[in-house]
Structure 1
Amino acid sequence: MIASTIKTQYEGSSHDSVLYSKPYSKKIDTLNMPKGYQLPKFMQFDGKGNLKQHVTHFIETCNNAGMEEDYLVKKFVRSLKGNAFDWYTNLKPEFINSWDQLEKEFLNCFYSTRRTISMLELTSTKQWKDEPIIDYINRWRSLSLDCKDQLSETSAIDMCVQGMHWGLHYILQGIKPRTFEVLATRSHHIELSIANHGKKEPITDFKKDKVFAPNIDKIGKKPAKEAFTVNTTPIKTSSTPIKIDVIKDSTQIKPSF
């Protein structure tokens, strides 16, 4: 009895295979494929991954081949493998009456391991201490694609910049990239320039695309000139008064008679 049970479990019984019938109704079974139909190549789903993505790809592939609505039921099995194929073959005979029903049954049976990201989690995502800027942008971008709230590319870029290290954040606020491609390129160049600046090498002003050498302290300083306004007082001598004027350069004295 034990041997028979194990054999049935792993090999299946001939009785079950004889009783197998298609899981969709006779109405669907009698549907003929459109004229000129050619069997497309389907992506296969094994029970893991993104369910909606698989269904969307399957529908688009069928529509391009001239199939719509209930015609999809007859070909859906060709897009399944592994656990997903086992689920399909275990459906009750003539249980499926429409594509909408099959799609719902499929989505209810399997679940996506893809996690939904909230806006709060997205705004709290920051660049790690030693994380290269390209890695941070790719990580942030992947999270944003799973966000339940739709973001425009401009808003997403601004939010991504907010999570960068202060130096990059400060410079990129003035540049304002409009695409993630430009953001990644500019950020990478700025990151390299900041690193080179620490080694006293020229850095680039990415806003004006000019190169500046590091500042060198000047050795000498010009003496400051002071302007004085002094009331002149006549100095009397034996016969003629002498008036002394103080000009801008206090080291020169000009007597006037």
Structure 2
Amino acid sequence: MASNGQEGQAAKSSQMAIMRAIQQELAELRAENASIKQKLESNNEGEGEQPRPSKTQATSQPVRTETVEESAQNPPTMGTANTSAMQKNVCRHPFVDGIMETPLPIGWKTLVIDRYDGTTDPDEHIHVYLTQVGLYTTNDAILCKVFPTSLKGATLSWFTRLAPFSIDCFDALTAQFETQFATSRPHNLTSLALINMRQEKGEPLRAFVERFGKTALSIHNLSPEVVLHQMINGLRSGPFADSLCKRPAAIMAELRQRAAKYMHMEELKDFKNKVATEDNATDRRLDKEGARKAPSRPPAHPRTQRFAKYTPLNALRSLVLEEALHTDLLSTPRRANTPPNADTT
């Protein structure tokens, strides 16, 4: 019982000490507010107009006074201490007053773009962002307000660390954004990159034109005359290059139109060659299969006598054959060649 009483008395004394500290701090803040008010009134009398209170005074002072007054009426507990700590940890935006209060347009939908993480071209992200938001509005305040939703990771952390009230328009925001992530810009190509481009051996005309055009698009402020000249120089000898030598193209649009015709001719020729090759391969395969499946030659039948009975010879066979040769009934057989390794002795 004695220990419980001592604990209760200690709690009351600590609570009273906290109350006295809060009341003292409240009195100091009221005195500071009174002095600031007096200075503002003296400035108004000297300049003839009422100055606008600073952002720090307009935001931090009233909020602090109200918090202290509420704390004086309600002694602090564990829950209120955690709440005040959470309020201090809330990240403030870097925009001036009025930007975050601007309402979004009717029918606004979430942006369908890849959020920027700081590893790609920042200029390209700005262009994609403006294209998406431009479908709904061009209001500068909304451009600033929605921009953080297009960031993620390290870029979003960078945005939350910007100084409060440091951004008053979208141009200022993009300037800091592009400066911060300038190292993520890709290397800027020049017209010299087109000089070394050549159509490789066996490379189709369509593949070369697409490769050349992709490189040309990545070069800023490129002259069309330079593109036309370098593309003609990069072509391999062939029907299209011969056509350009006979009748040069005046502009890139004409060059692309003429190139498209030769692309179709080249692709049609390749298709026919491919079909012919496949047909030849099929014919050879069928011939091989036919040779395997061809029926074998039937076995020769043994010779048999045509008649059952013949007239018997009344002379020697040598005499009969000699007489037949003299009467041209039989032709003399051709003498066979002697084998090279035969024994002629």
Distance 2:237 2:270 in 1: 12
Tell me if the contact between 1:40 and 1:61 (Cα under 8 Å) persists in the aligned partners: no
Aligned partner of 1:147 in structure 2 is: 219
Match of 1:82 among 153, 160, 171: 153
Aligned partner of 1:41 in structure 2 is: 111
Q: 1:30 to 1:192 in 2, by over 3 A?
A: closer
Tell me if the contact between 1:51 and 1:110 (Cα under 8 Å) persists in the aligned partners: yes
Match of 2:103 among 19, 26, 32: 32
The structural deviation recorded for 1:182 is 4.9
Question: Which structure is higher in helix share?
Answer: 2
Match of 1:22 among 93, 97, 100: 93
The structural deviation recorded for 1:196 is 8.8
Tell me if the contact between 2:194 and 2:215 (Cα under 8 Å) persists in the aligned partners: yes
- Map Cα deviations across residues 58-104 of structure 1 (whole Å, 9 max, x no partner): 12322321242222111001111233223222323333221111000
Aligned partner of 1:128 in structure 2 is: 200
Distance 2:134 2:205 in 1: 41
| Corresponding letter in the other structure for 1:183 | A
In the alignment, is residue 62 of structure 1 matched against residue 128 of structure 2? no
Q: 1:159 to 1:16 in 2, by over 3 A?
A: farther
Distance 2:186 2:174 in 1: 19
Tell me if the contact between 1:118 and 1:149 (Cα under 8 Å) persists in the aligned partners: no
Tell me if the contact between 2:111 and 2:133 (Cα under 8 Å) persists in the aligned partners: no
Aligned partner of 2:237 in structure 1 is: 166
The structural deviation recorded for 1:157 is 4.3
TM-score of the pair, normalised by structure 1: 0.58
Q: Taking every aligned residue pair, what percent have the same amino acid on both sides?
A: 21
Q: 1:185 to 1:40 in 2, by over 3 A?
A: farther
TM-score of the pair, normalised by structure 2: 0.45
Aligned partner of 2:265 in structure 1 is: 189
C-alpha RMSD over aligned residues: 3.3
Aligned partner of 2:256 in structure 1 is: 180
Tell me if the contact between 2:94 and 2:164 (Cα under 8 Å) persists in the aligned partners: yes
Find the residue that maps to 1:85 and give its secondary structure: helix
Question: Which structure is higher in strand share?
Answer: 1
Tell me if the contact between 2:191 and 2:222 (Cα under 8 Å) persists in the aligned partners: no
Larger radius of gyration: 2
Distance 1:180 1:93 in 2: 53
